Structure 1
């Protein structure tokens, strides 16, 4: 229904963004990859979107790159992978890393993602490896944005992990362990990616 949204980015967090266009603020769920590519708040933003209509909710997902949206749509068409799991996958690794893992039949890389077991990883590879080899193995540009420190790295990471489906106590435990291991020297994106692999 909505192919894309272009407007002013009024708010962004590691799991969602709000884009205002024609006086309407769209709450759009995003991956860490898209978060890293989004510009500054109060500037224009453009997101390719997918609207998921459920019985009790309408969820709008946004992607900075069309290739990430295409990968998301391929993933949610696989039995056992819903929109939340697909978003966790795209927050745990870049689209290119996921595409390469599928094309190379790298089950271990896929299994390292939270919520992806051996059978699901095998199903993803079986259903998508040919498409990945043909359509998706193009390099995608990557840029990094500075992490906003209006809240601590721990708070940001825990909040994002809870939104992505982890229980708060597990999220807090994983984040604390990672920050201790890294001597507190890690970005929110790094902490979330590592926590999703624990």
Structure 2
């Protein structure tokens, strides 16, 4: 089991990073939370979870222990796989997820792409007693870099398509968010808002 990776950040994308550890490049899938936390660090340490199945091994990375614990709790739910878990952590912050679970807020969890009413109810029912014990070590959410150009639109589109959105839906969601936004928007905020647009 690979518990963490500590190395040089070679590539950073809203959905994955490549970390060079002594000449070996590891492709690690990340959530939007972790992407926001990484900023432009040259040396990086990510806590990891290795998902093994017949057709491949996938590494998932987390900047904070609380996010990794929440991810593992989500995986314990029947019907929630690693991709769905990552989608939940990209759509909502760890704090928002915990608050929704503790408050029994099915609507908030169901708003995540790929989560139906039954799965949302199962998440709340099975994790209500466990999330309070996590204890958040995630600092206040940082404000992303404010930019407004085509590069951000392209990066957001690429991230949404990687997360499983059809390209046309992703483009429509991004356009909707940009129409509603009066001020400049960061890449992280654009992706987050687009994930919540349906």
> What TM-score range do you get, normalising by the shorter chain?
over 0.9
Whole-angstrom CA distance in 1 between matches of 2:59 and 2:119: 25
> Once the 2 structures are TM-superposed, how far is the Cα of residue 105 of structure 1 from its aligned partner?
1.1
Greater alpha carbon shift after TM alignment, 113-122 vs 20-29? 113-122
- Corresponding residue for residue 141 of structure 1: 139
Q: CA RMSD in A?
A: 1.8
TM-score of the two chains, using structure 2 as the length reference: 0.92
1:15-30 equivalent positions in 2, closer than 5 A: 15-30=15-30
Change beyond 3 A, Cα 1:152–1:47: same
Change beyond 3 A, Cα 1:186–1:145: closer
The reply on whether 1:31 has 2:31 as its aligned counterpart is yes
Q: Is the 8 A contact 1:102 1:124 kept in 2?
A: yes
- Corresponding residue for residue 70 of structure 2: 71
Greater alpha carbon shift after TM alignment, 21-30 vs 151-160? 151-160
- Corresponding residue for residue 169 of structure 2: 170
Whole-angstrom CA distance in 2 between matches of 1:88 and 1:46: 22
**Aligned length in residues:** 196
Whole-angstrom CA distance in 2 between matches of 1:54 and 1:150: 39
- Corresponding residue for residue 87 of structure 2: 88
The reply on whether 1:111 has 2:115 as its aligned counterpart is no
Whole-angstrom CA distance in 2 between matches of 1:30 and 1:151: 23
> Once the 2 structures are TM-superposed, how far is the Cα of residue 114 of structure 1 from its aligned partner?
1.5
Greater alpha carbon shift after TM alignment, 139-148 vs 63-72? 139-148
> Once the 2 structures are TM-superposed, how far is the Cα of residue 151 of structure 1 from its aligned partner?
6.0
Whole-angstrom CA distance in 2 between matches of 1:24 and 1:139: 30
> Once the 2 structures are TM-superposed, how far is the Cα of residue 58 of structure 1 from its aligned partner?
1.0
Whole-angstrom CA distance in 2 between matches of 1:162 and 1:132: 30
TM-score of the two chains, using structure 1 as the length reference: 0.92
Whole-angstrom CA distance in 1 between matches of 2:148 and 2:53: 35
> Once the 2 structures are TM-superposed, how far is the Cα of residue 140 of structure 1 from its aligned partner?
2.2
Q: Is the 8 A contact 1:39 1:45 kept in 2?
A: no
Structure 2 runs not aligned, ≥5 long: none
Cα deviation digits, residues 143-196 of structure 1 (max 9, x gap): 344368896221111100011011111111111111122147322211211221
